[in-house]
Structure formats: structure tokens, C-alpha cells
A and B are shown apart, each in its own frame.
Chain A
Amino acid sequence: MVKKIFICPPNSLILSDIVERLGHEPLTMMCEIQGRMDPESSEDQSVFEPRRGLKYTPVEVPSGVRGRLSMIGGLIERAEAAIILEDTDFGFGCGGCARTNELIPYIISQQGIPYIKVQYPHDLESTKEMVREIKDFLTTLEERT
């Protein structure tokens, strides 16, 4: 059965491609942007809604974090499982914000959905291990949920 899988970083090509190859639907930042974007609007930031981010963070959190979470939080809510890539290189991912990147695994754990943390690969062996772990996780997803 096709499951909706949230990937972190939410714009990752590698994770999105692997999830699709294994027969599931990746929930990515690109889907969210495509759904929200208004082609007629001239505002570049029209996709962000910091007020909606209040659902996931306190009010004193900077609006940048809330704006990011207004998009990412919705994806996590829709997700049935999640894959988190850890120890990535500097600047990897679309968050561009350390606080947002810290909050994402926390929100995922609060949702109570099954998730897996995989290490960012640095050579062929670690890449093989990462792909195997993701495959094992996705193939045993039915038992976990």
C-alpha cells in the first residue's frame, strides 16, 4: 500500500527518488510550494504564512522559523512515516535555519508516526548502508503502523 512519507531535508532529491522507487509517495517542500503558489501574485514570499506556524511553535519564536514550519508542519501532519537524514554537510537542505532543523525531528516524534534516522553518506559503503536502511524501513512499514 502506498504511504505518504515525509523526508527531511524536505527538498532532498536522493530521499525523494528512493521513496518513489520503493513505491511510496514522498511529501516534499516542492509539493507544498506547488500547491500554494499563486502564479498571478508578484509577491515572492506569498507561500509563507507565519501565523499558521503558531500551531507548532510558541509566539516568541522568530517569524522566520514560524514561516518555515507553516509549510513543513503541514507536511508532517499528513505524513504516515518519516525519514530523517542526519549529520549532513553544512548548508544541506532547504531550511537554512538551525532552529527549524532542530524542531522538525521534535514535531515528527510528537506526531507518533514511525520514523528512521539515517546518516549522511560519505562513501560508497555508507551510501549502501543508508539505502539498505531506508529500504528495510519502507518494506516493514505495514508492520510498524
Chain B
Amino acid sequence: MATLAKVEVIDVPSTETRMIIISPTSGITPEQLMTFASSCNEDVFLKETCYGLLLQGEGDVVRRVVRKIRKISPYALFSKQRGYPIGEKKKCRRGREGGMSGGPRQGFHQLEAECMLLDDIGKALESLEHDESGKAVKRNERMDEDTVRSLVSEILTVI
């Protein structure tokens, strides 16, 4: 029976792992991101994934690289922190019992659901940037006490 290579956990103090997620219609590929991030010459671990990129390193360095990467396309690249480091034994499918089985990693379905919205979110952020005067329409605005009183009295007089 073939044995899997030992998965090494990268344990760096004050380490932070971040995910970069590409909007599906952006036309940017994870490979492009990987090439760009590698060219930044920063001390971070990188992993190319199907949805984008994983970065791991010291918090400040990682955030600096994320800012640089975002400049490629500010409204098509989204980022969030990741709880577990790259190759974490308990979460990485490669190291779980049963080899490559076990279904997708926890959190993947949430990521998949949110990926569908990224295109619209990008457009909304872009339109907001260009239309600073736009104010949100207030939903379910509460009526003040006097209006409620007058409405009630009106209804009572009708009855």
C-alpha cells in the first residue's frame, strides 16, 4: 500500500494565513496571481488553489503582499483570513485518514456560495467608488410616535 508523503505544518510565530479569491468572470487566473506574488520578493509561503491563492507568513508582510496583489484588479480580487495554516494536518485533505477521500475541506461550500456573488459585489464597489453621492435607501424605516398616534386615532374614528 502506497504511503502518503508526510505533510509538514509550517509553524511560524505570529503567522497569518490569507486567502485571495478571484471573481469568476474576471479572466484572471490563479497562475497569474502566483507569478505576480512570487515576483514581489517577500518572505511568504504561497499555494496556488482552484479559487486563487493562499499566502502565509508574518501578518504585516502578508497584508503588504495582499495590498500589492489587489492592485492588479481591485474589484475582482477579494481576500479573507484563513484559520488554519497551509498543510494543516487536521484539515488538509492530503493528510486526512483515508488518503484523498473525505469530501471537500470545511468552509469550501461557503466559499463556493460567496464566489457566485463576487461579480456583483465587485460591480457594486466600483459603482459606489464612482458615485460617492449615492445614499442607501432606508428599508423599513420606523414611524415616529406622533404618526402612529394619528393613524390609530384616524382608524378609531372610522370604526
Contacts and interface: CB of A to CB of B under 8 A. Distances in A.
Given A37-B83, A39-B9, A127-B123, A44 B90 contact: yes
Interface stretch (B29-37, B41-49, B124-132, B150-158): B124-132
A17 B81 contact: no
Contacts of A145: none
Q: How many residues of A sit at the interface, in one of the four size bands?
A: 35 or more
A128 B110 contact: no
Contacts of B89: 42
Interface string B7-47: 00101000011010100000000000000000000000000
A13 B136 contact: no
Contacts of A13: 19, 21, 78, 80, 110-111, 114
Contact of A136 (B113, B120, B123, B136): B136
A33 B113 contact: no
Contact of B120 (A18, A94, A127): A127
B61 to A, nearest CB: 16
Nearest to A91: B109
B68 interface: no
B45 to A, nearest CB: 14
A130 B84 CA distance: 30
Contacts of B57: none
A29 interface: yes
Contacts of A20: 79
Interface of A: 9, 11-14, 16-18, 20-21, 28-34, 37, 39, 42, 44, 89, 91-94, 119, 121, 123-124, 127-133, 135-136
